[in-house]
Amino acid sequence: MAGSAPPTRRWLLLEHPGPWRIEAIAGAGIDPEVLSLLTRWAGPTTRILLVRRPGRIDRRAPRSWMLAALDSQTVSGPWRKDQDLLDAADAMIDTSGSAIRQPQPMILVCTHGVHDVCCALRGRPVAAAVSSRWPELVWECSHIGGDRFAPNLVVLPDGFYYGNLDPESALTTVEAHLGGTVLPDRLRGMARFVPPVQAAVIAAHQRYGPLGPSDVTVGATEHIGPHHGHGSETFVDLVIEPQQRMLKVQVLSVRRTDAQLTCRAARETPATEYQIIDFKPM
């Protein structure tokens, strides 16, 4: 599971009561010209997701959009008509505009059952449990990647992905993270890093924790071999900030044998595993 968080820098969240189609954004009924502009400005660094509150859905309730970004405060605005989403496009260019700033973190739980039934069956109980504790923070969301690790949960704006949860472990994991401690046992990775670097940071949390979300700093990285391909190696320099400990981690990318990775997979495919080969002080 380590190293499986999809790398990105921002998340554009569109409040939509559903139903969500397999291609959630394309099937959300947004004006094609507006959607084209959003997609263009999102580019490769922003992930667009549909979100809704857990529980009974009020389809007449006001909707909003939210833009969460690493190392930045979340901003939001109303979505009464599709043209309002042009404000979201503006926010992706310049967050100093009229959007409302939201200081609180956000917790996303994937419940996109049409995309993969496992996400709904396993995700909804987790969303309900976490929402019962932090109702103002929690949203169900469309596909975030890694269905095989369902239920999946993301803490924004930190960009930490957790998987293989159940209601009890989700409560423990979120409570710790919001309190400034990362529990690495169910940690998939951090969206700010590429997969092998995520695996190196997770290993640091496992060996030197408990640590906070920003306690491990990544320095120089060196990649040898085909990009994320079988047999490639990544060397990562890390600093454990509270202990001022400097480390060099060697990560090997290994293609695993073909398997059915998700509930709805039509065929078996391989997944990449990131193995820690060496972990030593500098």
Work out whether the CA dihedral 129, 140, 153, 89 comes out positive or negative. negative
pLDDT of residue 101: 81
Domain boundary among 120, 144, 176: 176
> How many Å apart are CA 181 and CA 23, to the nearest integer?
35
Per cent of the chain over pLDDT 90 is 78
154 lies in the same domain as 103? yes
Please, what's the largest Cα pairwise distance for the chain? 58
Site of tokens 């909707």: 63
The answer to whether 14 and 48 are in contact (CB under 8 A) is: yes
| pLDDT band, residue 218 (cuts 50/70/90) | very high
> How many Å apart are CA 56 and CA 115, to the nearest integer?
21
Closest CA to 147 of 264, 51, 31: 264
- Give domain status of residue 183, yes or no: no
Range of the domain at 162: 10-176
pLDDT of residue 94: 77
| pLDDT band, residue 183 (cuts 50/70/90) | very high
196 phi and psi angles, rounded to 5 deg: -65, -30
Torsion of CA 13, 125, 147, 72, to 10 degrees: 30
Summarize pLDDT for 117-160 with one digit per residue, the tens: 888 899 999 999 999 999 999 999 999 998 889 999 999 999 99
pLDDT of residue 88: 93
> How many Å apart are CA 172 and CA 70, to the nearest integer?
23
More confident residue, 267 or 49: 49
> How many Å apart are CA 144 and CA 262, to the nearest integer?
13
Whether the per-residue pLDDT at 228 is higher than 70: the answer is no
Per cent of the chain over pLDDT 70 is 94
167 lies in the same domain as 59? yes
186 phi and psi angles, rounded to 5 deg: -115, 25
111 lies in the same domain as 19? yes
Closest CA to 162 of 217, 201, 108: 108
Q: How many CA atoms lie within 13 A of 109 on its CB side?
A: 33
When the pLDDT of each residue in the chain is averaged and rounded to a whole number, the result is 92
29 lies in the same domain as 155? yes
49 lies in the same domain as 124? yes
The answer to whether 174 and 182 are in contact (CB under 8 A) is: no
More confident residue, 171 or 227: 171
Site of tokens 């695993």: 256
Domain boundary among 134, 149, 176: 176
Closest CA to 234 of 192, 185, 195: 195
Domain count, the chain: 2
77 lies in the same domain as 110? yes
55 lies in the same domain as 159? yes
Question: What pTM does this model have?
Answer: 0.93
Whether the per-residue pLDDT at 50 is higher than 70: the answer is yes
Task: Bin 150: left if φ > 0, else alpha if -120 < ψ < 50, else beta.
Answer: beta
- Give domain status of residue 63, yes or no: yes
- DSSP, residue by residue, 2-53: TT-SPP-SEEEEEE--SPPPSSTTTTS---HHHHHHHHHHHGGGEEEEEEE-
Overall average pLDDT of the 23-34 stretch: 95
Instruction: Give the other-Cβ count within 10 Å of 218's Cβ.
Output: 18
Domain containing residue 159: CATH number: 3.40.30.10
Q: Which residues pair with 273 in a beta bridge?
A: 254
169 lies in the same domain as 32? yes
> How many Å apart are CA 259 and CA 242, to the nearest integer?
40
